[in-house]
Amino acid sequence: MKKITCAVLGYGDRSSRYANYAKLHPDELEIVAVTDVNHLKLNQAKKDFALDDRSLYKDLDAFIADGVKCDVVINGTMDQYHYETSMKLLENGYNLLLEKPVTANVSELLEIRDKAKEKGCKVVVCHVLRYTPFYSTIKQIIDSGKIGKIMDMQLNEHVWYGHFVNSYVRGKWRSEKECGSGLLLAKCCHDTDLMCWLNNTTRPVKVSSFGSKSFFTKDNAPEGATKYCCDCPQRDNCMFDAYKFELEKDFIPFYTWAGINKPLDEITREDKEEFLKHDAYGQCVFNTDMDIVDKQCVNVEFENGTLGTLSMVGGTSKAGRHLHIICEYGEIVGYIEDNKYTLRVFDKREVGYHDETIDLSAAADSGEKDNSVAGHYGGDYYIMRDLVRFLNGEKTSVATTVIEDSVNGHLICYGAEDSRRENRTVFLDEYK
């Protein structure tokens, strides 16, 4: 198998995790160049992969002008930059591993798809949950026909309060105006993709949705709360006090302290305390400029009559993705956090069914125990393993598809947002 050469655009948390596959399997993947506007991230990439200064770029145009040769580029830029950067890379013949969501705009999504086809480029979207043992084995059962066709899919996502506050209330995804994506697209295009991928013998045709920001609002702020936690008289009575939540708990430090613009291990407590006095991470969660929902439900009808529902709630006590698929001759139900699910198969000769528990703990742990690649229940590791094989023309898992198979999941998100805002049912053919 040929070693795949790879460049990285945007050396943040997601793309650096993917790139770390090269450390585990240097015979399969080599990082040859990194582009990032942040000098700290460039310095980190230089250390991580022993790159020389000629392989480090501060902007994409310089990378393209140098004609850097590689088999694939990991595009890990923020959502609002995906379209411009992807079109430039495709125009110059680069294959892409593109972080989700592809874009928040339907015309841009289709332009990226069409440009890839025109240039003969492969674009793999980072729908990493497909690659987990949990969802990939469920897909294999459905495709086998063992329990018949899907009749109904019920998906739930509970976004843990540590993640939700740090990313979507105080963090860089809190504003659709700034990052380009609402909560459904930014967080749950994984789930709408799963709905379409698991049921890809048909296509979604109709969507309705309801949602709102109901908890993280000014009305729920403690009486007398100030804009910043540093001078708030209610700090002792608020679980979201930035000095407890961000400083003491420090749930996601590589997000929270990035604005200090120092290497994480060089940031002092004094730096952090001062930072919280003026940055969004130090603001009252009920008084930020968050303009996205904190809960939403989505209803989908497919062309063959299958129904799908997705319920997302932000700020829950525990993270969780639950799935219940009802087919003609059986059901599948489980939580991905448990790395196991129950398969119920109807007994056609008798009135009843039998249960089988599918435990995938060992599969989820094998091969990707190194935390540098082990995100998303093993999905971050397995997508890279498949990418190497895909680019070599070898057999991949059922999870790997080209960008055409990512379109429907995005259309559901677009339709759901239009439905929520306009209080109507959306027919997805409108987007054609």
23-36 pLDDT per residue, tens: 999 999 999 999 99
- At residue 361, the pLDDT reads 83
Judge if 57 and 34 occupy the same domain.
yes
The answer to whether position 371 is within a domain reads no
The answer to whether position 158 is within a domain reads yes
Number of domains in the chain: 3
pLDDT (average), residues 43-63: 97
Q: Quote the CA–CA distance of 146 and 231 in Å, as a whole number.
A: 61
CATH number for the domain spanning 207: value is: 3.30.360.10
Reported for 225-231, long-range contacts at CB under 8 A and 24+ positions apart, including other chains, are 225/284, 225/286, 225/287, 226/284, 227/283, 227/284, 227/287, 228/276, 228/277, 228/278, 228/282, 228/283, 228/284, 229/276, 229/282, 229/283, 229/284, 230/276, 230/277, 230/282
* Average pLDDT along the chain: 94
Judge if 40 and 173 occupy the same domain.
no
Which one of 91, 125, 159 terminates a domain? Answer: 125
Q: Quote the CA–CA distance of 31 and 103 in Å, as a whole number.
A: 25
pLDDT (average), residues 224-232: 96
Judge if 311 and 299 occupy the same domain.
yes
Judge if 295 and 325 occupy the same domain.
yes
Checking if the pLDDT of 246 tops 50, the result is: yes
Checking if the pLDDT of 316 tops 60, the result is: yes
Checking if the pLDDT of 66 tops 60, the result is: yes
- At residue 365, the pLDDT reads 59
Kindly list the distances between the CA atom of residue 56 and the CA atoms of 14, 74, 161, 179, in Å, as whole numbers in the listed order.
18, 14, 36, 25
The answer to whether position 373 is within a domain reads no
Residue 168 DSSP code: I
Checking if the pLDDT of 219 tops 90, the result is: yes
The answer to whether position 382 is within a domain reads no
Q: Quote the CA–CA distance of 328 and 345 in Å, as a whole number.
A: 10
Judge if 174 and 308 occupy the same domain.
yes
Judge if 191 and 321 occupy the same domain.
yes
Which one of 259, 282, 305 terminates a domain? Answer: 282
The answer to whether position 376 is within a domain reads no
Which one of 258, 282, 306 terminates a domain? Answer: 282
Q: How many whole angstroms from its chain centre is CA 88?
A: 23
Checking if the pLDDT of 165 tops 60, the result is: yes
Judge if 196 and 322 occupy the same domain.
yes
- Model confidence at 373, pLDDT cuts 50, 70, 90, reads low
Checking if the pLDDT of 377 tops 90, the result is: no
Tens of pLDDT along 103-115? 999 999 999 999 9
The answer to whether position 378 is within a domain reads no
C-alpha torsion angle, residues 108, 113, 116, 119 (rounded to 10): -80
CATH number for the domain spanning 56: value is: 3.40.50.720
Tens of pLDDT along 269-313? 999 999 999 999 999 999 999 999 999 999 999 999 999 999 999
The answer to whether position 408 is within a domain reads yes
Judge if 121 and 133 occupy the same domain.
no
Of 172, 9, 124, nearest to 76 (Cα)? 9
Which residue range forms the structural domain that includes residue 196? Answer: 129-216+290-363+402-431
Checking if the pLDDT of 367 tops 50, the result is: no
- At residue 371, the pLDDT reads 47
pLDDT (average), residues 169-193: 93
Tens of pLDDT along 82-96? 999 999 999 999 999
- At residue 350, the pLDDT reads 77
Kindly list the distances between the CA atom of residue 215 and the CA atoms of 14, 188, 221, in Å, as whole numbers in the listed order.
29, 19, 9
Judge if 185 and 233 occupy the same domain.
no
Q: Which residue has the higher pLDDT, 399 or 364?
A: 399
Judge if 418 and 350 occupy the same domain.
yes
Of 231, 349, 357, nearest to 283 (Cα)? 231
Checking if the pLDDT of 179 tops 90, the result is: no
The answer to whether position 388 is within a domain reads no
Judge if 93 and 19 occupy the same domain.
yes
Q: How many whole angstroms from its chain centre is CA 105?
A: 17
Look at 156-170, 342-356, 368-382 and tell me which has the smallest mean pLDDT.
368-382
What's the pTM? 0.93
Tens of pLDDT along 379-423? 999 999 999 999 999 999 999 988 988 999 999 999 999 999 999
Judge if 10 and 119 occupy the same domain.
yes
